């Protein structure tokens, strides 16, 4: 059975975490993806955890391998005219050109979209850097850490009485590739129907803002600025991380409805606090959430995390064991 992107050819120019993930979706589903790198300035993901004494060299560093399977690689020096000519021959071959340099780089090499479109009118090209191709800050180079902060993720991550901490990792590096993949797929469908190529400009920060659309809508509608809530949720209680039997063992659980609360109460062995009328309805549980969390923690503390999670999941309650890499 043919893969969905069989026959599609993608030329990838760029580096880092966000871009390889976007093109990986195509490589994993049948497309031929050719990744262009510099031999003197390789993709910096090859250098993460790199050791000089590693006999595998730059080709086997874990993060690079994770993000770039099923691709073909070629080294081209784009500082030389011969290198530009090679890149242009690859453009002639490709259905899609994908790049994530800062805006002036592709223009400097003569590989900007207007130039490539004159050469190949049905070409699909997508650019995705931190600020995108337009606006006063378009030349600012950056990474997902800045993207998370500027989009608003840092402001809503952490505890209400402490400084913002931001999400673990570079979240716009994880979000923006999904938008890129969807947009390129839509552009391929459009070209199939119309014969037209097109240019896609995807600012990584904007994908982060769009992913926080609830924040935007609530501010636009009533001037509300959403902020950090720790592990809590404004419409669910209990909702958090609770201790279990053993050293540093925890379970995450969330109860959204009164029916789920009654189930949780039964699965915890009908502890006395479960009969407290203050906790019978969501509004009461939210009003007395600190006390509720204390009671729930006392009940979960003596239970095996995996066994409890299995019982809760089987009953339809959202729950999961907090695990480490061990």
**How crowded is the C-beta side of 141, counted as CA atoms within 13 Å?**
8
**pLDDT tens readout for residues 79-122:** 999 999 999 999 999 999 999 988 888 999 999 999 999 999 99
Structure tokens at 307: 């066994």
> What whole-number distance in Å separates Cα of residue 66 and Cα of residue 17?
10
> What whole-number distance in Å separates Cα of residue 209 and Cα of residue 160?
21
Phi, psi of 185 (to 5 degrees): -60, -45
> What whole-number distance in Å separates Cα of residue 220 and Cα of residue 147?
22
Q: What is the mean pLDDT of each run of 10 residues along the chain (326 residues)?
A: 92 87 95 93 82 80 87 94 96 97 90 96 95 86 84 92 86 91 97 97 94 94 94 95 97 97 95 94 97 97 96 97 90
**Options 1.10.3720.10, 3.40.50.10540, 3.10.20.30, 2.60.40.1120; which CATH number does 9-211 get?**
3.40.50.10540
Q: Which helix (H) or strand (E) holds 307?
A: helix 305-315
- pTM value is 0.87
In the set 43, 95, 173, 293, the catalytic residue is: 173
Told to judge if 276 belongs to the known catalytic residues of this protein, a careful annotator would answer: no
Judge contact between 13 and 34, C-beta under 8 A. Answer: no
Judge contact between 43 and 16, C-beta under 8 A. Answer: yes
Amino acid 297: pLDDT: 97
**pLDDT tens readout for residues 195-233:** 999 999 999 999 999 999 999 999 999 999 999 999 999
**Domain 239-321 grouped into CATH 3.30.1540.10:** yes
Domain boundaries defined on the chain: 9-211, 239-321
């Amino acid at each position: 059975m043919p893969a969905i992107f069989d026959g599609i050819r993608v030329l990838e120019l760029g580096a880092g975490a966000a871009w390889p993930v976007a093109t990986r979706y195509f490589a994993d589903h049948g497309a031929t993806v050719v990744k262009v790198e510099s031999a003197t300035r390789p993709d910096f993901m090859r250098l993460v955890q790199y050791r000089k004494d590693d006999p595998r060299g730059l080709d086997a560093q874990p993060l690079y391998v994770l993000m770039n399977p099923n691709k073909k690689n070629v080294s081209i020096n784009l500082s030389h005219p011969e290198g530009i000519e090679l890149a242009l021959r690859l453009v002639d071959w490709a259905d899609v050109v994908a790049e994530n340099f800062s805006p002036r780089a592709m223009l400097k090499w003569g590989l900007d979209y207007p130039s490539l479109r004159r050469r190949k009118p049905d070409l699909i090209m997508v650019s995705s850097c931190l600020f995108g191709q337009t606006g006063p800050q378009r030349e600012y180079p950056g990474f997902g850490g800045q993207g998370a902060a500027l989009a608003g993720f840092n402001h809503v991550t952490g505890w209400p009485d402490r400084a913002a901490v931001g999400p673990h990792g570079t979240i716009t590096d994880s979000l923006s590739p999904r938008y890129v993949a969807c947009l390129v797929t839509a552009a391929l469908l459009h070209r199939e129907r119309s014969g037209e190529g097109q240019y896609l400009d995807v600012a990584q920060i904007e994908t982060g803002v769009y992913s926080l659309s609830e924040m935007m809508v609530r501010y636009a509608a009533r001037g509300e600025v959403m902020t950090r809530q720790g592990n809590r949720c404004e419409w669910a209680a209990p909702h958090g991380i609770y201790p279990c039997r053993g050293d540093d063992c925890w379970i995450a659980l969330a109860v959204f409805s009164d029916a789920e609360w009654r189930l949780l109460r039964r699965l915890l062995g009908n502890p006395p606090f479960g009969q407290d009328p203050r906790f019978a309805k969501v509004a009461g549980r939210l009003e007395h959430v600190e006390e509720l969390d204390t009671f729930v923690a006392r009940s979960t503390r003596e239970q095996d995390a995996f066994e409890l999670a299995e019982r809760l999941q089987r009953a339809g309650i959202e729950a999961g064991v907090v695990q480490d890499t061990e």
